[in-house]
């Protein structure tokens, strides 16, 4: 169920990339994912689907391609968070250095976005 972002909450609008094989569940490891669903989230807790982004997976049987990793990370620089089922420490550190916060929140996309929104709202209380 998409929740529409209202025009009244523009002060805290951000994008979230979601690693999913089907657009329903956060079920992909960052290094193996080739499809990310991009959502726009407002500080009020409303969100809406924006687009799908396709990347080349960076993990191939345990081997990692650094060039692909850097290329993939650059495709999410406009996002504040990236939701995945798993992410390795190296990729997570690189992601954070580029300004995107990786979060392991497997489950239904709607529920994972809800958890992220709650986290974000709590961060703004303090």
CA dihedral (105, 107, 112, 114) in degrees, to 10, reads: -140
pLDDT at site 64: 74
Continuous segment of H or E residues that includes residue 16:
strand 13-19
pTM, 2 dp: 0.87
Cβ-based neighbour number of residue 86 at 10 Å: 17
Structurally, the chain folds into a number of domains equal to 1
Q: Could you tell me if residue 42 is inside a domain?
A: yes
3-state secondary structure of 77: coil
Where in the sequence is the domain holding 14, given as residue range(s)? 7-123
Residue 110 CA, distance from chain mean position: 13
CB burial of 20-43 (b: ≥16 within 10 Å; e: otherwise) equals beeeebbbbbbbebebbbbbbbbb
pLDDT at site 7: 44
Collect the ranges in the chain with pLDDT lower than 70. 1-11, 61-63
Q: Could you tell me if residue 2 is inside a domain?
A: no
Q: Could you tell me if residue 1 is inside a domain?
A: no
Tokens of 57: 């997976």
Q: Could you tell me if residue 39 is inside a domain?
A: yes
Q: Which CATH number do you get for residue 94?
A: 3.30.420.130
pLDDT at site 11: 58
């Amino acid at each position: 169920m998409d929740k529409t972002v209202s025009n009244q909450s523009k002060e805290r609008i951000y994008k979230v990339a979601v690693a999913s094989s089907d657009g329903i569940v956060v079920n992909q490891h960052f290094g193996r994912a080739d499809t990310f669903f991009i959502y726009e989230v407002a500080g009020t807790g409303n969100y809406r689907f924006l687009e799908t982004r396709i990347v080349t997976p960076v993990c191939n049987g345990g081997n990692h391609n650094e060039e692909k990793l850097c290329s993939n990370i650059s495709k999410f620089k406009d996002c504040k968070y990236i939701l995945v089922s798993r992410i390795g420490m190296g990729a997570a550190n690189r992601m954070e250095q580029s300004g995107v916060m990786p979060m392991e929140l497997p489950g239904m996309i709607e529920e994972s976005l809800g958890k992220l929104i709650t986290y974000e709202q709590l961060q703004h209380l303090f």
